[in-house]
Each structure stands twice: as C-alpha cells, then as structure tokens.
Amino acid sequence: MKVIRAKSAGFCWGVERAIQVARDESQGGDKTVYTDGPLIHNSQMMAELGKEDIREVGNYQSDSKLNLPQKNEKESVVVVRAHGISPERRKYLKELGLPFRDGTCPDVGIIAGKIKVHADQGFDVVIFGDPNHPEVAGLLGYANGQGHVIRNEVDLKRLPKFNSGVVMVSQSTMFTHEFKNLSQILSKKYPELKIFDTICGATKERQSDLVQLVDDGADVLIVIGGKHSANTRKLAKLASSYDKPTFHIETADDIEKESFLEFKCVGVTAGASTPEFIIRSVCEKLETF
C-alpha cells in the first residue's frame, strides 16, 4: 500500500511552544508543572509529559477551582495552555501564589487583542466558534459582556439587534469557508461590519493539505488525533466530505488490516495536538500492508 502524508500533519507551532514552555519550567522533572486543563488534547502525549512531572489540573474548560497540594517537596509552577484564558481566569491563577507562565498561542493572543480593542470602543463582538471550547471561553472574557458566539446560520439569526458597531472574529481552528459564508450574511445586515479572519495559518494549511492528499490519489483517508480534540474532529469531518472512506484514529493500534485491503493509496494527516511518534508509527504500520 502506498502511504502519502500531509506536510502539515502534527503539532502546530502554538502547541509546540506551549509544550516547550512547560518543559522549560519542569527542567526534566526537577520542578512540578501544573497546567490549567490538559496542555494539549492528546492523552498519549500527556502521558509522556507526565514523566517530566507536568500535571494536568482543573478541567477542559479551565473554569474550575484548582485543588493544588498544600505542600510539595519540589518547586511548582502554573502554566497556561495554548488555548488561552480570560482576564478573570488569569487573575485567579496568579492569586494562587505560584510562579505563573503563559503558554497561550500568540495567534490566540492576537484574537483576544482585537476583541478587547473593539469592545472597549463599544463594539458588539461576534465570535464564530464552539461555545464549549476553552479558547472561545477565554476570548469571551475580553468582550466586556458584549460577546456573542455563533456556530451556524441558525445561531446567526438568533443574534440580538445591534445598535452600535459590530466586529466579527473566529476561533482559530474553524473552517474558512464557513467563516466566509457567515460573515457575508452578517455584513448584509450590518454593512459597516468589521471582519477579521482570525483562523490561524496552521489550520488553513491543514485544510488545504487535505485537499492535496485527495488530488495526489488517496482513495482512503486517515486522520490521527484525540477523539476529544476539536481541530482533529473538524479535520475528520472535512476529510469525509470528499466521498472517501475516512478513519479517525488515535494510535496505530486502532488500525485493522482488513479495513484497508481494497485500497491502494492511503492519505494520512493529523491534528495539531498529535505528536510525531504517533504519526510515524501509523505510517510504518500502514506500509506493511
């Protein structure tokens, strides 16, 4: 079986940066690093980081109280993950009394900055994204109570009437074509709508590289990544839209040879939280078929 791999498969630079921040603080396990929620949405990589005493505390949304040990034999530090947090959450974490390091992806920081600047000027802010995603929860914290989250045209129709300026941004990992469609619809109602395409370059690259896999002859597609990873699920959804059999897997153990006997060429891509060692093991197993 021929295996072709997307160039962009694996960690995006924001995830790599957050991991490096945590590892720099851990110093190989000399210090305990507490991450506010899972540093990345990949259980296998979190297990690897656990060997360096990088520990997940709190919950997925980063909105729960952190029950940290009262005493620790080693120095401890709190690290913010790539998704970012709200100003209120930042204040809470800093008040815990531990050293604080920010692993927020700079791309997410740019979105937060655009929201804050316009909210401070009285704009209502429309965010295209998943209201349950921690990135969106963090971004809403910069909107001064004037933030509105939409996922589709139904949500768009439910928006209240805006009497002042309106600005529209996107969660960094959404589909570009959906953002374009929704922003065009909203701009018809508000001709002065300010639109900022804040979908990150890594997300756009993954989406275009997936199209390239199909163009290069893949007759089946594999998307590697955590089942709870939002960007990986979106990638799998996009892959299935090309009328090709699509498998969303987490590791090579999820691959059954019998499912691939009828195919000649498999295209492999992976979400932004999928480590290289998992992608490599998947490709190596497929090459034995």
Provide the percentage of residues in the chain whose pLDDT is more than 90: 84
The CA radius of gyration of the chain, in Å to the nearest whole number, is 20
> Residue 71: what pLDDT?
73
Residue 94: CB atoms within 10 A of its CB come to: 12
Catalytic annotation present for 52:
no
Position 73 pLDDT exceeds 80: no
Q: Give the contacts of 229 (CB within 8 A, at least 6 positions apart).
A: 41, 42, 271, 272, 273, 274
Strand partners, 256: none
Residue 128 has pLDDT above 80, yes or no: yes
Domains of the chain with CATH codes: 2-10+202-287 (3.40.1010.20), 13-103 (3.40.50.11270), 107-195 (3.40.1010.20)
Q: Is the pLDDT of residue 72 over 90?
A: no
- Indicate if the pLDDT at residue 102 is higher than 90: yes
Q: Which of 88, 135, 153, 250 is catalytic?
A: 135
- From CA 259, how far away is CA 221, in angstroms rounded? 12
Q: Which two tokens stand for residue 98?
A: 């531990």
pLDDT tens digits along 198-211 = 999 999 999 999 99
Residue-averaged pLDDT of the chain = 94
User: What are residue 287's DSSP bridge partners?
Assistant: none
Instruction: Say whether pLDDT at 67 is over 90.
Output: no
Residue-level pLDDT at 95: 94
pTM, entire model = 0.91
